[in-house]
């Protein structure tokens, strides 16, 4: 038996339904692109992350993780820096690979 999906009428531009991920969830060796910062980020943390280069459109790579999984070293804009998982959870990413 062959099943067909019903035709869906498109009324506008396609909208990407993929939710952005969190930087803290990436395993070591992964790469992604930063989408922005989460709405719930404290202003001082958001400012510090932006000052460190965690801005929208910036590629980021997870370099390594401490033995107890915290902190984590990230490569951003050709330099390595270390963040706690709590801080990295405020950074939204896409295109993780």
Structure confidence by residue, pLDDT tens digits, 32-79: 999 999 988 899 999 999 999 999 999 999 999 999 888 999 999 999
pTM of the model: 0.76
How many H-runs (helices) and E-runs (strands) does the chain carry? 2, 6
d(CA 74, CA 6): 45
């Amino acid at each position: 038996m062959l099943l067909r999906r019903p035709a869906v009428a498109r009324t506008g531009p396609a909208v990407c339904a993929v939710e952005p991920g969190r930087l803290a969830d990436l395993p070591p060796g992964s790469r992604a692109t930063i989408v922005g910062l989460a709405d719930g980020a404290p202003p001082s943390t958001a400012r510090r992350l932006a000052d460190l280069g965690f801005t929208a459109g910036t590629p980021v790579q997870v370099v390594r993780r401490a033995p107890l999984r915290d902190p984590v070293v990230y490569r951003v804009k050709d330099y390595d820096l270390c963040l706690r998982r709590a801080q990295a959870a405020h950074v939204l990413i896409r295109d993780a690979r």
